[in-house]
Structure 1
Amino acid sequence: MKLRQLVAAGAIVSSASLANAATSQEQFVVEDIRVEGLQRVALGAALTYLPVEVGDELNSFRVAQAIRSLYSSTHFENVEMLRDGNTLVIKVAERPTISNIIFEGNDDIKDEQLQESLDGNGVRLGEPLDRTVLTSIENGLKDFFYSIGKYNADVSAIITPLPRNRVDLKLLFEEGDAAAIQQINIVGNQIFSDTELMEDLELQYDTPWWDFLSETRYQQQTLQGDMETVRNHYMDRGYLRFNIDSTQVSMTPEKDGIYIAMNVSEGEQYTISGVELVGDLLGNEEYIGKVLPLTDGELYNQAEVTYTEEFISKYLGRFGYAYPSVTTVPEINDEEKTVKLTISVDPGKRIYVRRINFNGNTVTADDVLRQNVNQMEGAWLSNNLLESSKNQLSRLTYMKNVEFESTRIPGQDDKVDVDFNVEEQPSGSFNAGIGYGDRTKLSLQAGIQQDNFLGTGKRVGLNLSTVSYQRSAQITYNDPYFTIDGISLGGSLGYSEFDGSDFNVIQYNSKRWSIGANVGYPIDEINRINFGMTYSNTELYNTGYYEQTEQFYDQFREEDPEAPIKYDSYLASVSWSRSTLNRGLFPTAGSSQRATFSITTPNSDVNYFKSVLDTKFYYPLSRNQRWSVLARLRLGYGNGYGSNNGNEQILPFTENFTAGGADTLRGFENNTVGPRGVILSANSAATGPDGEQYPGDPAKNLVGVSTRSLGGNAMALGGIELIVPTPFVDAEMDNSVRTSLFVDIGNVWDTEFDYDKYRNLQAVSGSDDVLDYSDWTQYRSSAGLSVQWISPMGPMVFSFSRTIRDREGDDAKFFTFNIGQTF
């Protein structure tokens, strides 16, 4: 105690001596001011902080005031005032300037977060260094590490002097390992067991090795959330007087283990004795009273009370009352163990939207974004309309992230501005490829597709392809905002030449050109219907012989079986689409469905129909949705109708479904899964007098199958994927990079194939056996790993897969790579 008094007395004497030194123990009038020690700070800037001018009378009080003012400028590390005659001499030592900031050893905190924290404290490049601020930053960072269970962590600020009064600042981190939870005890619970209470806790201990989603390291914030979880468990079951009396967190001497204990008082169950709505409900008392879940005689449920308050608030928000006050007041009767709930409602003023602003869009025009916003300027502020607007904007493929906020206008308590903050992502894709295969040989392809052409929201595409089996060109256009009501208009023009001998399908060559148009109508914000019409002219030549194709060829062949086959078709289509996905690219929640039915008109040379259903469901597994499950299914069926030249119409084999490849069955070569071409060879058993060969017994004919796929008129493909965080990639990149573990399953078959016709025939030497291509149960499956990346050139897909089940003749592929693939 005496030592502290001596130190304090010494400090007072020292301050007094400084003041006396400056004033020579008497007051004087300042005739001149001289500042010494300035290097970086200009003289004029220093004098602006000095509350003393020439002609002022200086005393000890004014000296102390001047010193405090100079220190407050944050430019000086030391200030001393002296008197030279009637001249005030100010000696200063400037704070060093920060030349460089280095972070070393930080894993849990990113450099960007650290720099943001330093900026908030005025510690940045080119600014003077305040050593007192560094101490508080060090302590704040240590507190952060302690809150996540790293009790051995240490943070040191190392200052290295440099010439010209500059310094390097290094923050050195020694994080250490987080303390693992050794045990969690709940004390005082009798109604619910420890196992039942801890089942929903985020913090866990003694978990099996495969439960990699569990959080076993201690975090203070997580513990607070778990305490609320335990509280809700009781409150949602009527235990209105439940209380967590205390919580103890202790650690092992080595600071690597944590023991947690919660002391609880359960109390007894309470039932609801009455529910009363008071206040202004805008005349909707009867409706709200009917839909509320709170009823007399039931157990008190805190979750239902919260839901009731949120429901009323959101309901009033539909009518422009965006800031209502909804409060539930309980009247507890401890003797009867009942509670009466009085729900007080004050809707406040009706709020109107003055202006809707968009921030962050550097490419997309405001008008395009406005087309997807349901909330109107000048109308009531509706929380439902704002949420639906956010969802519609998020589903645009060129939007990475969308958020909104409403800001009250000063002086106008009934008006707000709504700001949509958007983050764009590349809206175009350049798809290109070069490859070589045993069958496809050298392949080249290139194309450009822009989903947001010049920021107008219009989709424009140009695709050119030249590979050994095909040359094609296609132009597509779609305007989703053709009218203000959301009616879309689009069209396409294409030409292609195809050679099946160089592809994984049966032998034939074709030329085809087409032109089409489509129009779409919105049913509501998630449903849409489209109508289309496409005219195409097709020429088939150099056709091979296969049993399944002869019935189609016979419709057109009259005299010359080698003549090319030409036909025109007018294909009408209708499609329905629905989407509740949370994003246009790489969604993690919601679902999408698309059903399409197309049919050629009766005046077409070929009459057929096709129907396809695509559906996807995303189920998030974690709160941040970095872990999700994708379940998908694709079904298809097509066939002919009517007859042509006495021949029953069938689905043209050029329209058959095929499978295998990145977007159908990974692990199998493109288009190799499904029926193969059947070749029937007649048995020549006799020679006539003229030397002509006569067929023998048809039962002794030979049969073979092609090594190429024919496809089928029916398809069922599905799969399930576990979407996981991409290793070594930050969470901010989840909208650009996706990794998933997948299982694919499916089949393509021909419902018109007659297996009995070939089952007893002898196979041609060297040929595979004929399988029952009408059997839908002969499915294939594969499993593997897929990585998808939205690169500057467009989407890229890398897949590593192994087949689980295959059939004779299938071509397996362990690794596939695609660029420009649509997700």
Structure 2
Amino acid sequence: MLNKRWTVFIILLILGTVSLSAQSADDWYVNKQIVDIRFTGLNTVSETELNGIVRSYISRKFTDSLSWEIQGKLYALEYFDLILPQVLPGDDNNNTVILEFQFKEKPVVNEIIFTGNNRIRKGELSDNILLTKGDLVNKSSIRLDAQSLQSLYVEKGFVDAEVTSNIEKNDEDNTVSVVFDIQEGTQTTIKEIRFVGNDTHVTSKTLMSLMTTKAQSLFNKGILMENELQEDVRLIETYYSDRGFIDAEVREINKDVVRDEEKEVNNLIITLVIYEGDPYTFGGVEFVGNSLYTTEELQSYITQNPAKVFNKTRFQFDYQNITDLYYENGYIYNTFSLEENRNDEDKTVSYTVNIVERDRAHIENIVIRGNDKTKEHVITRELSFEVGDVFSKTKVMEGVRNLYNTQYFSVVEPQTYPGSEDGLMDLVLDVEEGKTADIIFGLSFSGGQDFPLAGNIKWNDRNFMGTGRTLGVDTIFSPDSQSVSLQYSEPRLFDTKWGAGADLTYKHSSESQIYQDLNGDGVIDPYLDDEDFTNANEIVPTDYLMEYDTHYVSTGLNTGYTWYTGLGRWNLYSGIRGGVEYVEYDNEIYRPWSSSVRENYETWMYHDSIWLKGAWDTRDYVGSPSKGFILSQTTTIAGISSFSSKNYMKSVSRGEVNFTLFDIPTSDTFNLKSVLSIKSAFSYLAEKPWSSIAIDPQEDGFYADGMFVARGWYPESDGQSLWDNTITIKFPLIPNILAYDFFLDSVGLWKSKELLQQASLSDMKFSLGTGIRFDNPQFPIGIYLVKKFQFNENGSIDWNPEPDYVEFENGNLDLVISFGIDIY
């Protein structure tokens, strides 16, 4: 018997046929060429989608059966309640036709309502259905959503939950409200888990330790999640098979519900019926059909010894390595099959690996899909293979990693398809572009002593117009300092591995608390000599300090090259910078102690510097590494020309190592993950060996800002050397968006070479903290609670080293908000 839907469909086809037949008694339109197909009555459905269905019918000759065929495909979309066809003349002589379809669309979902849900929030229910506001009504999809909601309740222990759906129509605007009526029932909790059949070889305690599913207790809700229970079964069977019990299986899962009338709850007793079988030992592997690799070469991949207890997981790993040996070298069309050979008398199991060898596969085409913005050559230049090369899985995965490290893409998925003939294959890279244009608002440490914080607004596009180039504008502003910088970089100059960049910067700053020497004796006022200054702990009274304004215009050029090797990425960068600086102050009142400042008074003075950086990088992903390390050394020489007013050397040695502590899948979309990161950087300012010009740490030195370096501590500047160490345990909560961190900072800042030579543990500033970090370029903020401490000379610990600067006195804690987290 025909169901209602097909009955309506046949009636509509008959009506359509009558409508067409009524056009003319002689059926003038039959066998006339269709020159266009048009649609009317569309409000929600895209005309483009319908064009894709009917396009192939244009230029064909019209018949009634052809019209029915088109209507069948349109009805199959389940977008329409009614479709009325009409044939119109395509020209003045009626030699061609235009086919027009008038539609009555299905109602649009205006509202989704959940009723009866007391134990599961609305947001979680919405996440488990496909229906969304604005969809066209599809009754079969709504029924499936109702089943999905019922399954969600069953997974959470509501085994007798019922979900029904109802459609409430509003004829005035052709919309509906979809109501999911939920009868939650009583939640069932697991009271006990029992094991039957495991008395011989494995204890129930051992099996229970393997399971995620647990009985209700103080620390466990005891909710039955069917998917977790099935995963537990797999873990139990794997545990047995890795100890030689290759026939072991969980044969039955019995679930008995016991009603507790007093507490009005249902208790569940789960019984797992296990068949253990006998333990088998490994009898070895025989290879058949191999000629490309010798049997001895293949046997070297088998890591377990004959006559030992058989480990199935280990064997599967070895087998995978053997197939990968072929795939890595382009033999992707080879076929492999395993034959299990048992000796039930000796209780041994061996395997025969049958190999059908074929020619190597060469890449016929490389197809990029999903790159709406990024130019194709920007993607292909990151690949270490090209059309015509032998397929290599290792090179493909290396290319995928390179594409992720450009930080242009959030998803990169390689797929292989057969080529036009044997031995050829197509490699398709499906990419999903991430956001590369950022507008960043933040704060940074300006180095000033009156107002050390500076606002920062930065715009940059790391993939400008899809070319892989970076274009940006960076502004910094505070009462003491303002700057603007235009930046441009090309990571692949002329599509080579050479990169290049340039910037143009203007900066104005008001420098305060500057030393004076009014009498010109070369000693900082008001002291008589250097010893007198040192005995005063290098503290200068405010009345003897001065301020001045500087204007600085500079430009820089840089270039670099990256070598990709089996040991990681090796980077070599170099750059040069030149600029002019102008100093203003009232020379009738002030006389700076620094001779370089006096020489710069109302004069444009030239500065230049050159820098060189080398790095060894094995991190998996540059933006958010989970393993690998980086070592780098940067050396800067200021004063490369004889007329440069700045002369010094700077050295910055950095290291970082990352370890994944654990990475546990908890759902299809989330992994519980933790990464340990250890960083250390030592920076040093020194005189040039070939120059007698003294350095000025106050002007060119380092600082601990209290936000990125020595978090929570009061800012300190004028450092000739800085040692910055951090240990962080990271927990990504939402990948690339939100993370939770625990960290320990240890920072030392020394204002002279002599103080560095006398360095001790008591010089180090420690910060122990925890908090949330927004791991997102558009919102780079970390919010931490920090506990500062410092070691005294006698080895004891001072847990409140800066009592005047503590925000939470009861716990001696500081709230630290870091804007624009510094990345090594």
The alignment's TM-score, normalised by the length of structure 1, stands at 0.70
Q: Structure 1 residues 559 and 363, CA, compared in 2 at 3 Å: closer, same or farther?
A: closer
Pick aligned residue for 1:638 from 669, 676, 684: 684
Shift of the alpha carbon at 1:397? 2.2
Counterpart check, 1:221 vs 2:266: no
Residue 474 of structure 1 is matched in structure 2 by 485
Q: State the alpha-carbon separation in 1 of the partners of residues 806 and 465 from structure 2.
A: 42
Q: Structure 1 residues 441 and 174, CA, compared in 2 at 3 Å: closer, same or farther?
A: farther
Residue 766 of structure 1 is matched in structure 2 by none
Determine if contact 2:615/2:632 at 8 Å carries over to the other structure.
yes
Please give the secondary structure, in 1, of the residue aligned with 2:399: helix
Residue 741 of structure 1 is matched in structure 2 by 741
Determine if contact 1:580/1:590 at 8 Å carries over to the other structure.
yes
Counterpart check, 1:198 vs 2:208: yes
- Output aligned runs, 1:8-27, within 5 Å: none
Determine if contact 1:666/1:744 at 8 Å carries over to the other structure.
no
Residue 527 of structure 2 is matched in structure 1 by none
Counterpart check, 1:450 vs 2:461: yes
Q: Structure 1 residues 400 and 646, CA, compared in 2 at 3 Å: closer, same or farther?
A: closer
Q: Structure 1 residues 150 and 486, CA, compared in 2 at 3 Å: closer, same or farther?
A: farther
Listed one character per residue, the Cα deviations across residues 757-812 of structure 1 (whole Å, up to 9, x for unaligned) are: 9xxxxxxxxxxxxxx86546633213132241637xx3331413232426348845
Residue 664 of structure 2 is matched in structure 1 by 622
Q: Structure 1 residues 263 and 572, CA, compared in 2 at 3 Å: closer, same or farther?
A: same
Q: State the alpha-carbon separation in 2 of the partners of residues 715 and 538 from structure 1.
A: 31
Residue 664 of structure 1 is matched in structure 2 by 709
Residue 114 of structure 1 is matched in structure 2 by 129
Counterpart check, 1:711 vs 2:695: no
Determine if contact 2:498/2:559 at 8 Å carries over to the other structure.
no
Pick aligned residue for 1:337 from 347, 358, 367: 347
Pick aligned residue for 2:379 from 354, 361, 369: 369
Q: State the AA in 2 paired with 1:293.
A: T
Structure 1, unmatched stretches of 5+, are 1-10, 13-34, 55-68, 79-93, 544-551, 673-707, 727-733, 758-771
Q: State the alpha-carbon separation in 2 of the partners of residues 48 and 419 from structure 1.
A: 46
Shift of the alpha carbon at 1:751? 8.2
Residues 219-228 or 258-267, more deviating: 258-267
Determine if contact 2:287/2:355 at 8 Å carries over to the other structure.
yes
- Of all paired residues, the percent bearing the same amino acid is 16
Pick aligned residue for 1:608 from 646, 649, 654: 649
Q: State the AA in 1 paired with 2:206.
A: E
Determine if contact 2:750/2:756 at 8 Å carries over to the other structure.
no
Q: State the AA in 1 paired with 2:634.
A: F
- Output aligned runs, 1:342-353, within 5 Å: 342-348=352-358, 350-353=360-363
Determine if contact 1:183/1:205 at 8 Å carries over to the other structure.
yes
Pick aligned residue for 2:781 from 772, 779, 797: 797
Determine if contact 1:277/1:343 at 8 Å carries over to the other structure.
yes
Residue 612 of structure 2 is matched in structure 1 by 573
Residue 428 of structure 2 is matched in structure 1 by 419
Listed one character per residue, the Cα deviations across residues 226-273 of structure 1 (whole Å, up to 9, x for unaligned) are: 111111112112233333232223334367543322222334432223
Please give the secondary structure, in 2, of the residue aligned with 1:725: strand
Q: State the AA in 2 paired with 1:393.
A: L
Shift of the alpha carbon at 1:626? 4.7
Counterpart check, 1:516 vs 2:557: yes
Q: Structure 1 residues 252 and 580, CA, compared in 2 at 3 Å: closer, same or farther?
A: farther
Shift of the alpha carbon at 1:718? 0.4
- Output aligned runs, 1:750-789, within 5 Å: 750=750, 752=752, 754=754, 775=761, 778-788=764-774
Determine if contact 1:667/1:800 at 8 Å carries over to the other structure.
no
Pick aligned residue for 2:15 from 43, 56, 59: 43
Shift of the alpha carbon at 1:144? 5.1
Counterpart check, 1:103 vs 2:108: no
Pick aligned residue for 1:721 from 721, 729, 744: 729
Q: State the alpha-carbon separation in 2 of the partners of residues 612 and 367 from structure 1.
A: 35
Shift of the alpha carbon at 1:142? 2.7
Residue 163 of structure 1 is matched in structure 2 by 171
Q: Structure 1 residues 414 and 203, CA, compared in 2 at 3 Å: closer, same or farther?
A: farther
Counterpart check, 1:263 vs 2:273: yes
Determine if contact 1:275/1:295 at 8 Å carries over to the other structure.
no
Counterpart check, 1:296 vs 2:329: no
Please give the secondary structure, in 2, of the residue aligned with 1:312: helix
Q: Structure 1 residues 616 and 183, CA, compared in 2 at 3 Å: closer, same or farther?
A: farther
Please give the secondary structure, in 2, of the residue aligned with 1:247: strand
Residue 292 of structure 2 is matched in structure 1 by 282
- Output aligned runs, 1:369-388, within 5 Å: 369-388=379-398
Pick aligned residue for 2:500 from 481, 485, 489: 489
Pick aligned residue for 2:476 from 446, 454, 465: 465
Determine if contact 1:668/1:803 at 8 Å carries over to the other structure.
no
Q: State the AA in 2 paired with 1:446.
A: I
Determine if contact 1:97/1:167 at 8 Å carries over to the other structure.
no
Please give the secondary structure, in 1, of the residue aligned with 2:432: strand
Counterpart check, 1:247 vs 2:246: no
Q: Structure 1 residues 542 and 580, CA, compared in 2 at 3 Å: closer, same or farther?
A: same
Q: Structure 1 residues 606 and 167, CA, compared in 2 at 3 Å: closer, same or farther?
A: closer
Residue 438 of structure 2 is matched in structure 1 by 429
Determine if contact 2:81/2:106 at 8 Å carries over to the other structure.
no
Counterpart check, 1:807 vs 2:801: yes
Please give the secondary structure, in 2, of the residue aligned with 1:790: coil
Q: State the alpha-carbon separation in 1 of the partners of residues 319 and 617 from structure 2.
A: 31
Q: Structure 1 residues 561 and 349, CA, compared in 2 at 3 Å: closer, same or farther?
A: closer
Please give the secondary structure, in 1, of the residue aligned with 2:495: coil
Residue 690 of structure 1 is matched in structure 2 by none
Counterpart check, 1:590 vs 2:574: no
The alignment's TM-score, normalised by the length of structure 2, stands at 0.70
Q: Structure 1 residues 250 and 634, CA, compared in 2 at 3 Å: closer, same or farther?
A: farther
Q: State the alpha-carbon separation in 1 of the partners of residues 780 and 386 from structure 2.
A: 39
Matched residue count:
672
Q: Structure 1 residues 355 and 636, CA, compared in 2 at 3 Å: closer, same or farther?
A: same
Residue 575 of structure 2 is matched in structure 1 by 533
Q: State the AA in 2 paired with 1:710.
A: D
Determine if contact 2:362/2:425 at 8 Å carries over to the other structure.
yes
Q: Which has the higher contact order (CA 8 A, sep 6+)?
A: 1
User: If you compute each CA radius of gyration, which structure gives the higher value, 1 or 2?
Assistant: 1
Residue 7 of structure 1 is matched in structure 2 by none
Q: State the alpha-carbon separation in 1 of the partners of residues 20 and 155 from structure 2.
A: 44
Shift of the alpha carbon at 1:614? 3.7
Determine if contact 2:556/2:576 at 8 Å carries over to the other structure.
yes
Q: State the AA in 2 paired with 1:337.
A: K
Residues 436-445 or 508-517, more deviating: 436-445
Please give the secondary structure, in 2, of the residue aligned with 1:386: helix
Shift of the alpha carbon at 1:646? 6.0
CA RMSD of superposed structures (Å): 4.8
